[in-house]
Amino acid sequence: MDMLKTVKQAFKVPEMRRKIIFTVVMLIVFRIGSSIPVPGINRDTLLKIFSGETGLFDLFDLFSGGSFSNFTIFALSITPYVTASIIVQLLTVAFPYFERLAKEGQTGRKKMAQITRYMTVALALIQALGLTVGLFRQAVATQNWFNFLVIMLILTAGTAFLMWLGEQINENGIGNGISLLIFAGIIARIPTDIRRVGTQYKDGGLTIIGLLIFVLFALLVVIGVIMIQQGTRRIPVQYAKRVVGRKMYGGQSTHIPLKVNQAGVIPVIFALSLLQFPLTITYFLSSGSKFTAFVTKWLSPNGSPGVWVYAVLNIILIIAFNYFYTVITFNPVEVAQNMKENGGFIPGIRPGKSTVDYLTRVMGRISIVGAVFLAVIATLPTLVSQYTGLSIHFGGTSLLIAVGVAIDVMRSIENQMVMRNYKGFLK
Domain boundaries, the chain: 1-199, 207-389
- As a whole number, the mean pLDDT across the chain is 77
Output the pLDDT for position 238. 80
Please give the average per-residue pLDDT across 195-206, as a whole number: 74
Q: Alpha-carbon distance 174 to 129, whole Å?
A: 34
Contact 266, 395 (CB under 8 A): no
In CATH, what class is 207-389? mainly alpha
Query: What is the percent of the chain with per-residue pLDDT over 70, rounded to a whole number?
Result: 81
- What confidence score (pLDDT) does residue 427 get? 47
Mean pLDDT on 99-110: 78
Cα 124 from Cα 293, distance rounded (Å): 31
Report, as an integer, the average pLDDT of 219-240: 79
pLDDT score recorded for residue 287:
64
Confidence class for position 161, pLDDT limits 50, 70, 90:
very high
Rounded to whole angstroms, what are the CA distances from 366 to 58, 261, 319, 347, 358?
A: 30, 8, 12, 20, 13
Q: In this structure, what DSSP letter does residue 140 have?
A: B
Q: Residue 233's beta-bridge partner residues?
A: 258
Residue 7 clears pLDDT 80, i.e. is over it? no
pLDDT value at 54 more than 50: no
Q: Are the C-beta atoms of residues 146 and 119 closer than 8 Å to each other?
A: no
- pLDDT at 303 (0 to 100): 66
pLDDT for residue 424: 47
Residue 419 has pLDDT above 70, yes or no: no
What does the pLDDT average to over 46-65?
62
pLDDT of residue 119: 92
CATH of domain 1-199: 1.10.3370.10
User: How many Cα atoms occupy the beta-carbon half-sphere of 172 within 13 Å?
Assistant: 12
Task: Note whether 1-199 and 207-389 share their fold.
Answer: yes
Of 174, 193, 124, the closest CA to residue 391 belongs to 193
Q: Pick the residue with more confidence: 63 or 331?
A: 331
pLDDT (tens digit, 9 = 90+) per residue, 340-373?
A: 877 778 888 888 888 888 888 888 888 888 888 8
What does the alpha-carbon distance between residue 279 and residue 273 come to, in Å, rounded to a whole number? 10
**How far apart are alpha carbons 311 and 275 in whole angstroms?**
10
Lowest mean pLDDT among 133-147, 202-216, 236-250: 236-250
| Confidence class for position 147, pLDDT limits 50, 70, 90 | confident
Whether residue 152 has pLDDT greater than 80: yes
Which whole number is the average pLDDT over 275-301? Answer: 72
Q: Name which of 309, 312, 292, 272 is nearest 400 in CA terms.
A: 272
pLDDT at 157: 93
